[in-house]
């Protein structure tokens, strides 16, 4: 009896140890960001850098050519802000590959870029039981191009995309959304690709994570150059798509939602749905709910540690 009890205890302790080891393992990821497009990208990147949950292998820059504020080189604008944030965080160790400045011209022709080749390289470096997590905060150009350049990376990656609108009850999609509009061919390429592990944080779900300027000022004012950089971005960016809230007292943190959901999957509900009717019919995963209160509290706890 004692031997049997001892065996049970040993098995329980072994199971707990394996579970803790699994939970403590960092998520290998690359973030692909159209950082110069808006404000939330900057806040999302600061949350991801130095996060204990992530092994951040790189941050690539993405284009956003359909913005009315777009120049002829949006990817370089994103690149500059990525470089600024890493400089302010004193993180010279994180690669910042430059993405494509143009969307796909066909679903058979990649837009080759430093970012696309970097994704391929890191995907092939993954161990046998590992997958590289690709987090798309803007257009899908760089990730789609990486797959077009080397489709053998597909079994080695998981794609996490922030985009389009979705009604979970009717399973209907609206791709007339900013991120999706910046490269519709690339979005559909990822939706259509068989066996590609694709999860989507929709605009429908992420829109509920809202930061208030009063809270931002309380947490960031007089706390150094990085904090002032974030505040300045909020205050000076021209929110061209709405006339509501002209004083910019609130801001939807779309991109922060997907970063927090990856860091704390227990705070998000993810379900399987069939792809849109016009796409290849296969199952993808879509976030349908997030705990915004816990995400906000976690965000500011992380930022406080970053600013020390």
Closest CA to 258 of 34, 28, 36, 47: 47
Q: Quick one: what percent of the chain has pLDDT higher than 90?
A: 90
Residue (of 9, 17, 14) closest to 1 by Cα position: 9
> What integer is the mean pLDDT of 173-198?
98
Q: What integer is the mean pLDDT of 43-48?
A: 98
> Where do the domains of the chain lie, and which CATH numbers do they carry?
28-306 (3.90.245.10)
Cα distances (Å, whole numbers) of residue 222 to 225, 226, 308:
9, 10, 12
pTM across the whole model = 0.91
Residue 210 CA to residue 43 CA, distance in Å, equals 12
So what's the pLDDT on residue 10? 42
Asked if residue 47 lies in contact with residue 259, where contact means CB atoms within 8 angstroms, the answer is yes
Q: For residues 141 and 183, is the Cβ–Cβ distance under 8 A? A: yes
Distance in angstroms (rounded) separating the CA atoms of residues 119 and 117? 5
Q: What is the pLDDT of residues 129-139, one digit of tens each?
A: 999 999 999 99
Which band of pLDDT confidence, cut at 50, 70 and 90, is reported for residue 24?
low
Q: Across all residues in the chain, what is the average pLDDT?
A: 93
pLDDT score, position 308 = 75
Percentage with pLDDT > 70 across the chain: 92
């Amino acid at each position: 009896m004692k031997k049997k009890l001892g065996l049970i205890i040993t098995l329980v302790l072994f199971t707990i140890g394996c579970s803790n080891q699994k939970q403590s393992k960092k998520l290998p990821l690359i973030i692909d960001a159209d950082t110069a497009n808006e404000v939330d990208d900057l806040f999302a990147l600061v949350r991801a850098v130095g996060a204990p949950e992530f092994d951040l292998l790189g941050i690539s820059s993405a284009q956003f050519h359909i913005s009315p504020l777009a120049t002829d080189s949006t990817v370089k604008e994103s690149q500059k802000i990525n470089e600024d944030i890493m400089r302010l965080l004193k993180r010279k160790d994180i690669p910042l590959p430059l993405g494509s400045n143009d969307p796909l011209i066909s679903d058979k022709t990649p837009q080759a870029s430093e970012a696309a080749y970097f994704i391929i390289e890191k995907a092939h470096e993954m161990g046998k039981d590992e997958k590289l997590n690709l987090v798309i905060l803007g257009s899908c150009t760089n990730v789609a191009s990486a797959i077009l350049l080397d489709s053998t990376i597909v079994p080695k990656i998981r794609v996490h995309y922030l985009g389009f609108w979705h009604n979970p009850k009717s399973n209907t999609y609206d791709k007339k959304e900013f991120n999706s509009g910046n490269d519709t061919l690339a979005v559909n390429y990822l939706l259509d690709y068989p066996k590609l592990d694709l999860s989507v944080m929709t605009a429908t779900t992420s829109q509920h994570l809202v930061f208030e300027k009063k809270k931002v000022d309380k947490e960031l004012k007089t706390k150094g150059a990085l904090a002032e950089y974030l505040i300045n971005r909020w205050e000076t960016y021209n929110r061209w798509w709405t006339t509501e809230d002209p004083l910019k007292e609130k801001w939807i943190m779309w991109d922060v939602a997907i970063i927090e959901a990856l860091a704390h999957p227990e705070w998000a509900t993810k379900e399987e749905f069939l792809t849109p009717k016009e796409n290849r019919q296969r199952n993808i995963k879509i976030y349908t709910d997030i705990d915004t209160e816990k995400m906000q509290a976690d965000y500011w706890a992380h930022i406080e540690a970053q600013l020390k």
